[in-house]
Amino acid sequence: MTPELKSKIDKLVNDNKIMVFMKGSKLMPQCGFSNNVVQMLNSLGVPYETVNVLDDQEIRQGIKEYSNWPTIPQIYIDGEFVGGSDIAIELYQSGELQQMVEVALAS
């Protein structure tokens, strides 16, 4: 990964309390896993930002290296990598995702 790409991803992750790297956008997810994440975050009623990895091949590959996680979507809360769709579903069902989001937005 180039230093420029790392810096670009760092800025996206650190400038947004909740950042999702996904296929599509929050208004039009383009895969089921990305849609799951959007639905969960929408149901929590919290502000979040997304990056459509389909629009930027450099980010699409770079984010996998950045997180050492092979799949998209990827969720970052308060600068920390949380996981993908499956982990988010588990956290959502246990109530932990809501707690993580509330803590992040309060800080």
So what's the pLDDT on residue 38? 97
Could you give all domains of the chain from N- to C-terminal order, each with its CATH number? 3-101 (3.40.30.10)
- Residue given tokens 């930027």 in the structure block: 56
So what's the pLDDT on residue 31? 95
So what's the pLDDT on residue 107? 84
How many whole angstroms separate alpha carbon 102 and alpha carbon 104? 5
Residue 76 above 90 pLDDT? yes
* List of E strands, 2-102: 18-22, 49-52, 74-77, 80-83
How many whole angstroms separate alpha carbon 21 and alpha carbon 35? 12
Average pLDDT of the chain, as a whole number: 96
Average pLDDT over residues 31-59: 96
Please give the model's pTM, rounded to 2 decimal places: 0.95
Structure tokens at 50: 């997304």
